[in-house]
Amino acid sequence: MKPTHDTPEAAPHALAGKTMTGAEMVVQVLADEGVDTIFGYSGGAILPTYDAIFRFNAEHLDEDGREPMPLIVPANEQGAGFMAAGYALAKGEVGVVMVTSGPGATNTVTPVRDCMADSTPIVVICGQVPIAAIGTDAFQEAPVSSCLGPVSKHTFLVTDPELLEKTMRTAFEIARTGRPGPVVVDLPKDIQNWSGTFQGSGLLPVRGYRQRIHAVRNNVLDTQECEAFFDMLQESERPLIYAGGGVINGNAADELRRFSSQLGIPVTTTLMGIGAVDTTEPLSLHMLGMHGLASANYAVDDCDFLIAVGARFDDRVAGVPAKFAPSVKHIAQFDVDPSEIGKVKNVDWSHIGVLKQDLQILHDYAVEHGIYPDFDTWHAEIAGLKEQYGLNYDRDSELIQPYAVIEAINDITGGDAIISTGVGQHQMWAAQYFDFQHPRLWLTSGSMGTMGFGLPAAIGAQFAKPGHLVIDVDGDASIRMNIGELETATSYDLPVKVLVLNNFGDGMVKQWQKLYYKGRLSYSDKSLRSKDFIRAAEADGFKFAARLDKKEDIEQVIKDWLAFPGPAFLEVIIDPDACVYPMVGPGLAYDQMVTGDFIPTRKKVTEDDIDSSEMF
């Protein structure tokens, strides 16, 4: 365990007192922080540190000749950012990006914002022009703090070389603690070239931040709070846990599962909370929200006690806050971030603290006090909802349905594959139809909804979990955004499986246009495009690149694709009119879901019920 600001100091660093360049110090701190993979693209302003990484790796090869800290080169810096995000999400550790100044730094803006929105911990190290040239519009200069500061958890500009070590360690501390997020270090070239004495320890005095983190860590549930919580639970007949990405980020999935099982409380998760509970378990309702399962959304409508754990009542879940969970008598909310409490929905009970700790305390309190509520009737209702309103589609269609493709993959992977996605219809189909038995198997861009996330994130996840099956489920429009990373997968011989569900266009946009814009496919139909994905994959080195366009071949082709030992690419020509159902339209409550022709609904919704001006 690494020493922190509030733990006893470790033994002196073995290299303390050694003279190093600033670049060498950066690399040594990365090694001390346990970094085993860096994602980045070189350039003049970051060359000193790239050279230091090269030399460090050459000096520390293992007995098999492997580098301890390989630097993975993507097609562009946005790809590097999403690779680091995929790495962080799959491994639960801080991902690292290292890029040059100017366009190198600005190309990371989108992944940094994406990580901030989904609370993903990464550290971005940007080269910068020398201190004296900052502000002069020097070659490849960009105002990193101004560009990335508003979209990151914190940004540092290093101007005092004596503070370089402390800055680097503090960047990792801020990225991983509290509500995780991206931290940017802007590193002028002269700071990298400076020589000084390596201290081997020390952090910046960010007292206000540490005080807030310390307060959260030490805010332990007391007896009075536990009593109040269980008073509400024992008054309840239909309690429901609404779990979000905070459970995954807080590594609290085991505690949530234990708590839910002990008390018999069903669980539904947000898009980012998928994997917090095993989706194959009877108490799991899978995903709720705009494209959540009908059974989950109806359970939210019916519950009388809603327990929000690491979830923030965002607009994809609580689109109309006043109509969200209309039958509840009480709402409880757990979070690590005080700003989320009551931000969207007023709550009756709340606690700011560490989720692992809080859920374990409540579990232990229930056991100690013999609290074993009887929710058998509610369990039967949940089972009935799942049976009556389960996912379904046109199974007799002659066209390949995307749902059938995912079901076929899921039959083989059994809920144990790492699934990465782009953004669009394919993302929602994957969220709905895949099972997830464990946390950190689901990688997606939730809050930002960034097309192009899937492929580079899958590459990052494969580096994080080299022995695990990693599948990128993508769309023909989404994968175009970062299609250059196909070559990255083959360059490093990564056994990533890439699936493109091709419906010849921006599927989700087309779905909205068909439903609410009288079928006017304004600039979303790509059927006239001439992209040959198979030839593109082959050109980038894929030895397995196949197109599936016959329904009867689904099972065999998918088996062959998944069994291929190296990187494998599969394009599936799907029904271009396949839609994502259920769907809660903008301005509507859950009881007004559109469920299509194959999923039952409690209430028929017509076009007159929809406010198309809300779009997404």
Is-catalytic flag, 290? no
Query: Which is catalytic among the residues 69, 140, 559, 614?
Result: 140
CA gap 347, 179 in Å, rounded:
21
Measured at the CA of 185, the angle between CA 182 and CA 187, to 5 degrees, comes to: 160
Is-catalytic flag, 83? no
Tokens at residue 553, please?
């071949």
Region label for 367, one of left (φ > 0), alpha (ψ between -120 and 50) or beta (otherwise): alpha
Query: Which is catalytic among the residues 287, 508, 583, 593?
Result: 508
Who's near 467: CB < 8 A, 6+ residues apart? none
CA gap 405, 578 in Å, rounded:
12
Is-catalytic flag, 462? no
CA gap 285, 333 in Å, rounded:
19
Measured at the CA of 70, the angle between CA 65 and CA 74, to 5 degrees, comes to: 135
Would you tell me the crossing angle of helices 402-413 and 554-563 to the nearest 10 degrees? Answer: 50
- Strand order in 544-548's β-sheet? 442-443, 418-421, 470-475, 497-502, 568-573, 544-548
Is-catalytic flag, 189? yes
CA gap 267, 283 in Å, rounded:
6
Region label for 414, one of left (φ > 0), alpha (ψ between -120 and 50) or beta (otherwise): left
* Integer angstrom CA distances of residue 550 from 399, 503, 546, 556, 563: 8, 14, 12, 11, 20
Is-catalytic flag, 140? yes
Who's near 507: CB < 8 A, 6+ residues apart? 424, 425, 426, 475, 477, 578
Query: Which is catalytic among the residues 20, 25, 39, 77?
Result: 77
Query: Which is catalytic among the residues 54, 139, 598, 616?
Result: 139
Please answer whether residues 304 and 285 qualify as being in contact, where contact means their C-beta atoms are separated by less than 8 angstroms.
no
CA gap 212, 231 in Å, rounded:
30
Query: Which is catalytic among the residues 82, 98, 165, 189?
Result: 189
* Total residue count of the chain as it appears in this document: 616
The catalytic residues are: 77, 139-140, 189, 508
